[in-house]
Structures are given as C-alpha cells and as structure tokens.
C-alpha cells in the first residue's frame, strides 16, 4: 500500500514503480482517479523527462514521438472505470488472462476509496481488503493499492500508520506513507509496516527521494538520506524495527 494525503505524489510513485519493474512484469492498472489522457501524459512525461504540459500537447496531437515512447508500456493494460466494483476488477483480470494466457503479475488499484462495494459509504475497508487479499492469492498477482491518509494527521513528514483511513492497515504486507515537497523537489517515504523487515509505525524514520512532479519522475538520491523526525518524539524510545 502507498498512502498519503492529497498531493503527496502517490500516483506518481506508483507509475515510477511500474516503470522500474519494466516489461518483464505484466501489469493491470486500475486508474479510477485519473482518465486515459492524464495517465498517458504522465507516463510520457516520466519516460521522456519532459514537462507534463509539453507531454499533454504531444498526446493531444498524437505525435509519432508520443506513440513510439508509449509503446514501451504496452505490457500495461489499463482500466479507467471511475467507480469499479470487485466484479469489474475480476472481469478485467479474466480478460487479461484470455488475451495473455496468464493473470497479470502486478495489479495496481489507484485509488482504493473509489471502489464501489458494500461499506464504502462508511469508509470501512476491512472487508474490501480481505477480498483484495483473496484476489492476490487466487490470481497470483502482486497488488499495489494507492490509498489516502487522514488529513488530520500532522503535516510536514510522512503520516503514521494510524492515519491510514478506514481500517485498511491490518492486511497489507507493506505500507509506505508519503510526504511530498514539490518546491524542494523531494519525496519523504516512511515504511510504517513491513511484515518481513524494518518498520516504524509512527513514521518517525523515513528516507528522501528526488521528486519532480512536473515531469512525474522519482529517483533515488545520489547518496541515501535517512532522517528522523524529532518533532514527533516526546520521551519515548525509538520503536523496535523488528
């Protein structure tokens, strides 16, 4: 799960993860929060390291350069249903298997709160998370979920695990929370849950990444930067990573 407040570059990070995985990882991307034009423009900007406004112009004009660049992402199948149901997502996966002979190896759900299911009105995602866990197991697909954190959480650094909305933090194997600073060109990432490695539920320890929202590009710092947010510390000890 990738979670954060509005404007924290959640979708941009998800796109960069898909880019890094490359064509060897067939992907089904459910984009309910953005339409096909927006995602094509973001993907083109990320691929060519160009301003999103310029990428939008190329996509709008359907230039040869845009066509050739986006062909590198033909291993991604897109679904742009604005309020998908679980049944719709299963049908998309079955259609993928019919065409490709296998379920997608990676499924992205962007964004979870747009899924139409019983309990959505109360923003209780426990039952939905159990359904998505079953989907991951039956299809043998890695599921990446983009989700919101509560806006009541203190800003300026990645939110804690407790800020994940709607009881959705119990089943994911890994949860990253984000805080983006577009002016500084940085993205702070905290591992608030990690079943198989270090974690910090409070999000006090995080690392920085280079981020360019205008080109939809995220990359590692030349030298890794790990930080500790002292503003979140009172008198308690650091949490045990294990």
Note the pLDDT of residue 221.
Answer: 83
Fold of 2-232: Rossmann fold (3.40.50)
Note the pLDDT of residue 242.
Answer: 40
29 CB burial (10 A radius; 0-12, 13-18, 19+) = buried
Note the pLDDT of residue 152.
Answer: 77
Note the pLDDT of residue 239.
Answer: 44
**Rounded distance between C-alpha atoms, residue 19 and residue 77, angstroms:** 13
Say how many CA atoms lie within 13 Å of 196 toward its Cβ. 3
Note the pLDDT of residue 184.
Answer: 87
Note the pLDDT of residue 36.
Answer: 96
Note the pLDDT of residue 132.
Answer: 95
pLDDT of residue 227 exceeding 80, the answer is: no
pLDDT band at 153 (very low <50, low <70, confident <90, very high): confident
Q: 226 or 204: whose pLDDT is higher?
A: 204
What is the C-alpha end-to-end distance of the chain, expressed in Å? 19
Per residue in 188-214, pLDDT tens? 999 999 999 999 999 999 999 999 999
Note the pLDDT of residue 238.
Answer: 40
**Rounded distance between C-alpha atoms, residue 85 and residue 114, angstroms:** 9
Per residue in 14-47, pLDDT tens? 999 999 999 999 999 999 999 999 999 999 999 9
Per residue in 69-116, pLDDT tens? 999 999 999 999 999 999 999 999 999 999 999 999 999 999 999 999
Q: 187 or 150: whose pLDDT is higher?
A: 187
Note the pLDDT of residue 224.
Answer: 62
pLDDT band at 233 (very low <50, low <70, confident <90, very high): very low
Provide the H-helix boundaries in 10-85.
Answer: 10-21, 36-48, 52-61, 64-70
Report pTM: 0.89
Note the pLDDT of residue 126.
Answer: 85
pLDDT of residue 240 exceeding 80, the answer is: no
Residue ranges per structural domain of the chain: 2-232
**Rounded distance between C-alpha atoms, residue 11 and residue 4, angstroms:** 10
**Rounded distance between C-alpha atoms, residue 77 and residue 107, angstroms:** 10
Largest CA distance in the chain: 60
Phi, psi angles (nearest 5°) of residue 196: -120, 20
Per residue in 115-147, pLDDT tens? 998 766 566 788 899 999 999 999 999 999 999
Q: 4 or 183: whose pLDDT is higher?
A: 4
């Amino acid at each position: 799960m990738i979670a954060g407040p509005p404007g924290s570059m959640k979708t941009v990070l998800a796109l960069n993860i898909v880019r890094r995985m490359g064509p060897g990882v067939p992907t089904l991307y459910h984009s309910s929060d953005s339409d096909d034009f927006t995602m094509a423009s973001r993907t083109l900007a990320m691929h060519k390291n160009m301003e999103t406004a310029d990428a939008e112009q190329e996509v709008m004009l359907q230039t040869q350069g845009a066509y050739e660049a986006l062909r590198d992402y033909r291993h991604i199948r897109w679904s742009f249903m604005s309020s998908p149901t679980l049944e719709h997502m299963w049908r998309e996966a079955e259609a993928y298997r019919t065409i490709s002979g296998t379920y997608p190896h990676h499924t992205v759900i962007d964004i979870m709160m747009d899924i139409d299911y019983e309990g959505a009105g109360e923003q209780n995602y426990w039952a939905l998370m159990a359904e998505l866990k079953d989907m991951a197991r039956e299809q043998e697909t890695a599921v990446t979920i983009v989700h919101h954190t509560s806006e009541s959480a203190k800003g300026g650094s990645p939110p804690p695990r407790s800020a994940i909305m709607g009881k959705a933090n119990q089943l994911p194997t890994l949860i990253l929370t984000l805080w983006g600073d577009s002016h500084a060109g940085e993205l702070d990432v905290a591992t608030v849950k990690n079943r198989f490695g270090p974690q910090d539920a409070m999000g006090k320890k995080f690392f920085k990444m280079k981020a360019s929202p205008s080109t939809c590009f995220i990359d590692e710092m030349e030298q890794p930067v790990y930080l500790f947010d002292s503003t979140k510390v009172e008198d308690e000890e650091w949490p045990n990573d294990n």
